[in-house]
Structure 1
Amino acid sequence: MPGLFSWIRARLFQGHGATDYRADSNARVSSAKLPQGDPHADQSREPRDRLDDHLFCWLLDCSPRQLGTPSPFTGKILREIENRLDQNRLEELPRQPLTLPILMRTLGSESTTRKDVSGIILSDAALTDQVLQVANSPFFKAGDQIVETVDQAVFLLGLDGIRNVVSASVMRPMLAARNSTESTFTQRVWRWGLSCARAAELIALNRKEESTSYFMAGLLPALSYLTLRREVQSIIRRRYPDQQATPQMYYEAIDRFAWATAQKVARAWNLPPRYHALLLAAERPVPGEGDAPLTEGITLGTREVLRDAHQRNLADEELQALMSLEPRQLEKVRQMLSRFLAEGLSSR
């Protein structure tokens, strides 16, 4: 994916500190890295670059040529988004959910009980409804039994399971389409976000790391993608009303600013330091220590969601080369993720 895979690569970390998202003064855009014609045909490019292109052709429902066709307005849009980030005035930055602070404290505490979690959820009627909807969705439903109460959801899913349901419940309304023009994107970016979140959690579990934060951390990139898509639309409407946003504009905005936007969300929501650390570890991998679970989760989640959607992706051997998991471990995680996606087919 542009933005995330690009940040992960060490060439973007050149001593300028975290989240160096500046657009250059000449407004050059990174579509030059896309080969003319069909970028998928160029097997000499890095696998993650090709995975980037596959993902965005699917998310934006466009052809490779559309993805790489530049617009004279793109540079202006990038500079405007950069200014908004610098001045903390992104118009589409989602506000902190009211119950999020106490939820984060409660779900992050080792002394938390099922009664504690149920009480917080039930204190917010909107959250209660959302939790029950998510708990009964194909992605999270435990067996054939319909979950009718919050207490039942907590009992059936357990504390770890309800943590993921709560994270998804908090995020889902923010990733809902506002109109028909963004419907396809929101549906697909939500499915992609769930895939990456689940993959990151599974990889962390496989490494015997504390995994409860990885699911929500894995959803933040999806939220940043939608935020930036809307930010581009906002700028077009206000400054260039006679123009239409293009796939390449969205692609470039996400390529440059998705990481900064994810960090802005984490700060605006006062997420615990643990989340900032997970995001930073994905942005700035330590040389010699391999990729962080969130990084590998994004890679694996992207590959598997594209595979499930019958889109171009990476061959098994290319995927294995990008992962630290042993082949047997990777296959086990892949199978679990494949089931997770297959169970969510009816939610498309």
Structure 2
Amino acid sequence: MPGFLSWITDALAKRHPPAADWQPRLFNPDSPPTPVGDSARRKAIVEHLESNLFCWLLDAEPHQLRAADPIQESLLAELEQRLDNRQLEELPRKPWSLPGVMRALASDHADRRAVTRTIQSDPSLTEQLLLMANSPYFRPGDQPIESVDHAVFVLGVDGIRNVITAAVMRPMMAARNSREALFAQRTWRWGLACGCACEMIAGYRREDSSAHFMVALLPALAYLTIRRELCRISRGQRRGSEPSPAALQTALSRYQWRVCQLLANAWALPPKYHAWLMAAERPAPRQPHSMLTQALLLGSREVLRHARQRNLPEEELRSSIRLPEQQVVSIQAAVQTMLEESKSPPSRG
């Protein structure tokens, strides 16, 4: 299987270059986009939302994201070379417990005791799981969860899947220093909002909700990975300077999906993860948004709404995602509840 996944990554790296007027974005309304009629309107909507999201994540004003940066192309060229050679120094390594956890949870009839034993075999995962299970994101009531067995009992095997995913990802998203603290905090919250939305959309369609929760967290981890890599490059080229908001925004927009695919490949995630990421990066022309894209749109709008940032009107979002109204209302309520009840940044535990 690793050979097959490597083949996928190679194929993605060698795919035909995009049309001259198209650049990879977080929200891609068409592939390749043809800016006419309804397609042009959707394109403008999602680009507006994406711009607002980057302003919030990077704590920057719109003019800062458009400002000229004379060293930007040098930074991006070095980043692209590292991506081409698969030499990202900041790419998170696969958590050693991930394969066993995924196997234990793969079956719809996973045994509670087997799941508990798998988690307890990794003390670090156990600690993180209990932290996440007791956080407002996941805890179903006011009573503290004191053990892994208790967590599995209270949340059920289905409920514990997303807690484990968040527990695996959480340490990677923790800020290393004060300079990246705000970005890490906001990116983590954004990732969880998108994960919640993706899980619910998949549930409505009777698909694997826990797998969709995990794939929706990958863009957030990719963002932090890109920021760290670009900062590392910038320190080398500028002797300590941080990259500008404009350089960061360009790097995040241009390389987010490539880094997501590298993560999926490095972690030996199943082929369906690659397919979902590709469907978001390269949607079929005149087709509805993929579940992942719908979740990113919803999660982004809700996290901006909660933070009282510039945003999209409700009717524009709904016309773009094309989900049943009641589903949209339910997803928005769940995401807002999650955001309201948990406002603290991730820590190292």
Q: What's the TM-score bracket when you normalise by the shorter of the two chains?
A: 0.7 to 0.9
Q: 1:107 to 1:70 in 2, by over 3 A?
A: farther
Question: 1-side partners of 2:186 and 2:92: how far apart?
Answer: 19
Q: 1:243 to 1:186 in 2, by over 3 A?
A: closer
Give the alignment partner of residue 215 of structure 1, picking from 210, 213, 216. Answer: 213
Question: 1-side partners of 2:242 and 2:128: how far apart?
Answer: 34
Deviations 1:233-254 (A, max 9, x none): 0111112216441111110111
Which amino acid in structure 1 is aligned with residue 184 of structure 2?
A: T
> What displacement does 1:107 show?
1.5
Q: 1:75 to 1:9 in 2, by over 3 A?
A: farther
Which amino acid in structure 2 is aligned with residue 11 of structure 1?
A: P
Question: 2-side partners of 1:49 and 1:230: how far apart?
Answer: 24
Does 1:330 pair with 2:334?
no
Question: 1-side partners of 2:251 and 2:213: how far apart?
Answer: 25
Question: 2-side partners of 1:44 and 1:328: how far apart?
Answer: 21
> What displacement does 1:280 show?
1.8
Question: 1-side partners of 2:89 and 2:344: how far apart?
Answer: 33
Question: 2-side partners of 1:119 and 1:85: how far apart?
Answer: 38
Please, which moves more after superposition, 154-163 or 173-182? 154-163
> What displacement does 1:264 show?
0.3
Does 1:233 pair with 2:231?
yes
> What displacement does 1:292 show?
1.2
Does 1:87 pair with 2:108?
no
Give the alignment partner of residue 224 of structure 1, picking from 219, 222, 225. Answer: 222
Deviations 1:156-180 (A, max 9, x none): 1111211000000000000000100
Question: Residue 62 of structure 1 aligns to a residue in which SS?
Answer: coil
Do the aligned residues in 1 keep the contact of 2:24 with 2:281 (CA within 8 Å)? no
Unaligned runs of 5+ in 2: 1-22, 35-40
Question: 1-side partners of 2:65 and 2:278: how far apart?
Answer: 28
Do the aligned residues in 1 keep the contact of 2:79 with 2:229 (CA within 8 Å)? yes
Q: Partner residue of 1:33?
A: none
Equivalent residues in 2 for 1:286-301, closer than 5 Å? 286-301=284-299
Question: 2-side partners of 1:322 and 1:44: how far apart?
Answer: 6
Q: 1:96 to 1:275 in 2, by over 3 A?
A: same
Does 1:339 pair with 2:306?
no
Do the aligned residues in 2 keep the contact of 1:51 with 1:303 (CA within 8 Å)? yes
Question: Residue 162 of structure 2 aligns to a residue in which SS?
Answer: helix
RMSD: 1.9
Give aligned pairs, total.
318
Which amino acid in structure 1 is aligned with residue 32 of structure 2?
A: R
Which amino acid in structure 1 is aligned with residue 280 of structure 2?
A: A
Does 1:121 pair with 2:142?
no
> What displacement does 1:205 show?
1.3
Question: 2-side partners of 1:45 and 1:218: how far apart?
Answer: 21
Give the alignment partner of residue 11 of structure 1, picking from 28, 32, 45. Answer: 32
Question: 1-side partners of 2:49 and 2:176: how far apart?
Answer: 28
Question: Residue 329 of structure 1 aligns to a residue in which SS?
Answer: helix
Give the alignment partner of residue 320 of structure 1, picking from 318, 321, 331. Answer: 318
Do the aligned residues in 2 keep the contact of 1:8 with 1:282 (CA within 8 Å)? no
Please, which moves more after superposition, 163-172 or 102-111? 102-111
TM-score normalised over the length of structure 1: 0.87
Equivalent residues in 2 for 1:49-198, closer than 5 Å? 49-198=47-196
Question: 2-side partners of 1:69 and 1:246: how far apart?
Answer: 9
Deviations 1:313-343 (A, max 9, x none): 1111011111121222211221122212222
Deviations 1:79-121 (A, max 9, x none): 1111111111011100110101111122222331111111111
Q: Partner residue of 2:276?
A: 278
Do the aligned residues in 2 keep the contact of 1:200 with 1:293 (CA within 8 Å)? yes
Which amino acid in structure 2 is aligned with residue 295 of structure 1?
A: T
Do the aligned residues in 1 keep the contact of 2:33 with 2:285 (CA within 8 Å)? no
Question: 2-side partners of 1:70 and 1:231: how far apart?
Answer: 21
Which amino acid in structure 2 is aligned with residue 296 of structure 1?
A: Q
Unaligned runs of 5+ in 1: 14-42
Question: 2-side partners of 1:138 and 1:346: how far apart?
Answer: 10
Question: 1-side partners of 2:158 and 2:222: how far apart?
Answer: 25
Do the aligned residues in 1 keep the contact of 2:193 with 2:303 (CA within 8 Å)? yes
TM-score normalised over the length of structure 2: 0.87
Question: Residue 213 of structure 1 aligns to a residue in which SS?
Answer: helix
Question: 2-side partners of 1:184 and 1:308: how far apart?
Answer: 16
Do the aligned residues in 2 keep the contact of 1:140 with 1:165 (CA within 8 Å)? yes
Q: Partner residue of 2:13?
A: none
Question: 2-side partners of 1:293 and 1:6: how far apart?
Answer: 12
Question: 1-side partners of 2:108 and 2:67: how far apart?
Answer: 51
Question: Residue 11 of structure 1 aligns to a residue in which SS?
Answer: coil
Q: Partner residue of 2:248?
A: 250
Q: Partner residue of 2:305?
A: 307
Q: 1:177 to 1:3 in 2, by over 3 A?
A: farther
